[in-house]
Amino acid sequence: MTMHIPAPSDETMARLRTDLAERAAQRGLLDVAYAAVDSPVGPLTISVTDRGVVRIAYDNERLEDVLDELAAKVSPRILHAPARLDPARRELDEYFAGQRTVFDLPLDWTLTRGFRREVLKATARIPYAGTTTYNEIAAAAGSPRAFRAAGTALATNPIPIIVPCHRVLPASGAIGGYRGGSTRKQQLLRLESRQV
C-alpha cells in the first residue's frame, strides 16, 4: 500500500524558511540575506549583509548568477530571508511613491574597490532629480580623464537605484547605458522629475 503524503502548503514553507533564517542568524550562520521585491520598474532582488545593502538586481540578471557572485565575493552563507529586507523594502517603496528623496540605508561596498568604488560613492551624492555626466563623475571621483572607466563602474553598479547611476548621462544628452536597461533608466528619471 502506497501512502500519499501531501506537499506542505505555501504558508508552511514560508514559516519554515523564516524559522531557518532566524536560527541561522542567531547562530551567526547568515551573512547575506536576500528576497524578491516588486517595484514599478519590475521585480528586484535585494541582498543585505550586517553592514548594509550589498546588491540590488533587476530581473534581467539571473538569480543564480547574482547568488554565485555574492557567494564568491561576500560569503557562501546566503539565505532567502525576507524579514531582514524590511528596511530596504520600506525605503524603496517610499522612493517609488515619491515620498523619499534620500536613502538612509547603510551600504556594504564589498563588491567594489578602488576607482570603481570612488565613482559609486560620488554617484551616491548626486541629488534627487539631478543629473551629471560621465566626465563630471570621473572628476568627482578624482580622475577627470577616466570617463570611460567611470562608465564601466556605473555599468556594473551593484546597488542601482540607491546608488543612483541612472542620474549619470553622456555629455551628448543621450540616455546612455544602464544595468537594468535604458527603458528603466528613463522610468527612474521620469519618476524623479515628476516628484520635484
Is the pLDDT score of 196 beyond 60?
no
What is the average pLDDT across 166-191? 92
d(Cα 159, Cα 44) in Å, to the nearest integer?
A: 11
150 is catalytic: no
The answer to whether residues 21 and 78 belong to one domain is: yes
Which one is catalytic: 165, 168, 169, 188? 165
Question: Is there a domain that residue 44 lies in?
Answer: yes
pLDDT for the residue 24? 58
Is the pLDDT score of 74 beyond 70?
yes
Question: Is there a domain that residue 163 lies in?
Answer: yes
Instruction: List, for residues 104-143, the tens digit of each pLDDT value.
Output: 999 999 999 999 999 999 999 999 999 999 999 999 999 9
The answer to whether residues 67 and 145 belong to one domain is: no
Question: Is there a domain that residue 104 lies in?
Answer: no
Spell 135-155 as b/e; 16+ CB within 10 A means b: bbbbbbbeeeebbebbbebbe
The structural domain count of the chain equals 2
The answer to whether residues 84 and 159 belong to one domain is: no
pTM, 2 dp: 0.86
Question: Is there a domain that residue 143 lies in?
Answer: yes
Question: Is there a domain that residue 23 lies in?
Answer: yes
C-alpha cell recorded at residue 111: 563588491
Lookup result for grid cell 534620500? 102
**CATH code, 190:** 1.10.10.10
Lookup result for grid cell 548594509? 52
Question: Is there a domain that residue 131 lies in?
Answer: yes
Confidence of residue 1 (pLDDT cuts 50, 70, 90): low
For residue 34, give the nearest of 72, 73, 77 by alpha carbon. 77
Q: Percent of the chain scored above 70 by pLDDT?
A: 88
Measured at the CA of 118, the angle between CA 114 and CA 122, to 5 degrees, comes to 170
Single residue among 96, 122, 141 that ends a domain in this structure: 96
Provide the mean pLDDT of the chain: 90
Domain that residue 150 falls in: 114-195
Instruction: List, for residues 15-63, the tens digit of each pLDDT value.
Output: 666 666 666 566 666 899 999 999 999 999 999 999 999 999 999 999 9
Question: Is there a domain that residue 20 lies in?
Answer: yes
Question: Is there a domain that residue 4 lies in?
Answer: no
Single residue among 61, 96, 131 that ends a domain in this structure: 96
d(Cα 12, Cα 106) in Å, to the nearest integer?
A: 32
